[in-house]
Amino acid sequence: MMKQLILASQSPRRKMLLGQLGYQFSTLVADIDESVCDHESAKDYVLRLAQEKALAIFHRLAHEQQKQSLVLGADTCVVIDGIVLGKPANEAECIEALLRLENNQHQVLTAIAVVGYEAVDAVDMQSQIIETQVHFKALTLSEITRYWQTGEPCDKAGSYAIQGIGGQFVTTINGSYSAVVGLPLYETAQLLAKSGLPTTIQDNS
């Protein structure tokens, strides 16, 4: 029997991208602490959050539902000079973040994790980190202020949305565009297929 897919997120961007792969799925929100731990690297951080989101939802399910489900967790962070730039709490944090990114290259790390049962009562988790290099044009303070006033940066890691107004800041990208948006299409399809849930056009072998 084909397993049911659950996305551990209410992000409209992740829902759109997962739907783009042709999957039917439901969504549940994982309530976890997203603080960076002391001495935790950006890669360890983003991978931990993706795994914790998937596991939080999986453990919330009844046992019979666990056996019939795969849970997909994902997390994205923006990193420059080893510093993780989260979602801005206010205009000052947005300005500080974008002044770091302007006329510079940064990394966008997106981790995905899939949790399900490999066998009876044997929980299996597959995970992966995707790194994309993004370069910004030079920005002025007035551009950043006007961008903040659009409301777009408020809930975005790194204070920008590549798929929105903020896309005009990006001069080059080396890696996965969909990963920067929030869910890498290729890697997600491969990981779900490996876990027994191929897309409708993939060979099930």
Of 114, 127, 125, 119, nearest to 198 by C-alpha is: 114
Strand ranges for 8-65 from DSSP E: 25-27
Check 75, 81, 124, 155 and give the catalytic one. Answer: 75
DSSP 142-167: HHHHHHHHTTGGGGSGGG--TTSGGG
Of 67, 58, 45, 77, nearest to 8 by C-alpha is: 58
Check if 75 is active-site: yes
What are the backbone dihedrals phi and psi of residue 134, each rounded to the nearest 5 degrees, phi first?
Answer: -130, 135
Q: How many CA atoms lie within 13 A of 18 on its CB side?
A: 25
129: left (phi over 0), alpha (psi -120 to 50) or beta: beta
Which positions are catalytic?
75
